Copies of this chain bind each other. A is one copy, B any other.
């Protein structure tokens, strides 16, 4: 193991799942931002966090509405999802321009996006300043999905976007229920 530059290390630690954080602006318009910096934070209550830079339009939208959805786009929506990570809602109406279809959420005001593999509805529970980003901690109040869609998108530090199966789609795996594959039983 040798010392690596930051960019190379982050590349090797890729990919991570690429999701769209959907919020509403003060005018009630939906806004979708592509992000890769998210993770689960608690099992009970169910919490997840998304890291958003203060200069993003999404930052002011979430502060305003205090709700968001986190939607995992399927390959079907790859191009629209990609564009959502490239431009700001300040410049373009992403839902209209990129062909995203809003679906009503069950509990929160920001919508879900049609054809996503899975989506979480979140109410803002906590806000933490972490360096040049804000971690918005959301309480997950409803979960939705398309169980027939087995893939969603992953990013390599925002330079690439790939579609992968939820189980990795690999020819071997360690599996808690099935036991260990032969070549790993040593």
Q: Hey, which bits of chain A sit against chain B, CB under 8 A? A: 1-6, 8-17, 36-47, 49, 51, 72, 78-79, 82, 103, 106, 112, 114-120, 126, 128, 130-133, 135, 137, 140, 142-147, 149-150, 152, 154, 156, 158-164, 166-168, 170, 172-177, 180, 184-186
Q: Are B1 and A133 in contact (CB under 8 A)?
A: no
Q: Are B161 and A173 in contact (CB under 8 A)?
A: yes
A154 → chain B closest CB, angstroms: 6
Q: Are B12 and A147 in contact (CB under 8 A)?
A: yes
In whole angstroms, how far apart are the Cα atoms of A72 and B143 in the complex? 29
In whole angstroms, how far apart are the Cα atoms of A128 and B1 in the complex? 31
Which one of A4, A82, A131, A159 has the greatest number of beta carbons of chain B within 10 Å? A131
A150 → chain B closest CB, angstroms: 8
Q: Which of B8, B12, B170 contacts A162 (CB 8 A)?
A: B170
- 18 A-B pairs whose Cβ atoms sit less than 8 Å apart in the complex: A1-B116, A1-B144, A3-B143, A9-B145, A12-B72, A12-B147, A12-B166, A14-B166, A43-B132, A45-B132, A47-B131, A82-B174, A126-B130, A154-B168, A159-B176, A160-B167, A161-B175, A164-B168
